Amino acid sequence: MRWFVVMITLNGSEYLWYSLKYVYDFIKDNGCMIIIVKGSTKYSKIASEDGNSKDKSRDIIGGFIKDSEKDFIIHRKIGKVENKQELRNTYFEIIRGLSKEDQPDWILMLDDDELYKKEDLQKLDKFLIKNPKIEYIFNHQRWFWGDFKHVGITNETACMEQIKAGKRKDKIFYDAVGNRLRQGQYHERIFKWNPSIKYVSHSVITDEEGRDVYIDPYYENKRIVFSGCPRYHYGYLTSFKKMYERYRYYEERDQNKISNAEADVWKELIKARSQETELLSELWRFWEKKLECETKKS
């Protein structure tokens, strides 16, 4: 099948080479394409004046383009935009601009701090060939925290208890084989190409009817959890300064509103390391205050 990797990036040089290298051969073997959109939103404080990267991302991408056949990698710089869905929809627009025969069968949406193993992608490809009715894949994520010894996971039992108690508003839905799933339990990264789909938020994809393709009952028989192709997330194997910048981005974007899930993730990481730097101690105190406010609202 034809696979396209699509990516948005900004100052992603720390892991960008690895992200591209680990999918490069799989995509090349399938005669497909990698699309990279570079830009930033109005909430980003780390972009250049024109809204693009300030690090070595351009050189890394340029190296891959130099070593590839023409048009195997499309690199589009769009600068500063309103929000992340505008960045993500840009690669959909690029695909729609291709001839029908050049468009992909499947999309792998990749961030610049994520890795996939080639053999896992090959397993997924074989599974989808055998199961042509499936259009949307849920795959597990492995978050590395601080070092390679610590992997972050979501406590689904605790999440379900919070939903029952009215402290979370995540929707519950099912996949084609009856797995009960929680909205946000898996990220939406792997899906069959459909020219009518679009992002309506940073992560939510809808069809022409406005249905969320990953949770709407209409797609229940077309989505499935596939555990054989995990996504490895390295974004938290970085300096605490960069983690702090990331936190500040989402804090400003969400206008001081946070979810309990986001709070729990940051809370555990920062609490464990808050003694190491004054910066983290400040961040931990801020989250304690936010959690207290969130609990009062609930």
> What is the percent of the chain with per-residue pLDDT over 90, rounded to a whole number?
51
Dump pLDDT digits (tens) for 151-161.
777 778 888 88
Domain region containing 275: 240-297
Does any domain span residue 26? yes
**DSSP string across 184-220:** TSS---EEE--TT-EESSSS-EE-TT--BTTT-GGGG
Q: Would residue 203 count as lying in a domain?
A: yes
Structure tokens at 167: 């402290």
Query: Which residues touch 272 (CB under 8 Å, ≥6 apart)?
Result: 146
Domain identity same for 253 and 204:
no
Q: What is the C-alpha to C-alpha distance for residues 189 and 138, in angstroms, rounded to an integer?
A: 8
- How much is the mean pLDDT over the chain? 83
Most confident listed range (153-162, 252-261, 289-298):
153-162
Q: What is the pTM of this model?
A: 0.81
Q: Is residue 166 part of a domain?
A: no
Q: Please give the average per-residue pLDDT across 25-44, as a whole number.
A: 89
282 within domain boundaries: yes
pLDDT at 294 (0 to 100): 44
Contacts of 25 (CB under 8 A, 6+ apart): 118
Tell me: the pLDDT tens digits for 230-239? 999 888 777 6
The model's confidence at residue 146, banded by pLDDT at 50, 70 and 90, is low
Are 50 and 196 contained in the same domain? Answer: yes
DSSP codes of every residue in 137-175: EE--EEEE-SSTT-EE---HHHHHHHHHTTS----EEE-
Structurally, how many domains does the chain consist of? 2
Specify the pLDDT at position 202: 80
Does 247 lie in the same domain as 191?
no
Q: Nearest 5 degrees, angle CA 230-CA 234-CA 172?
A: 50
Q: 213 and 260 share a domain?
A: no
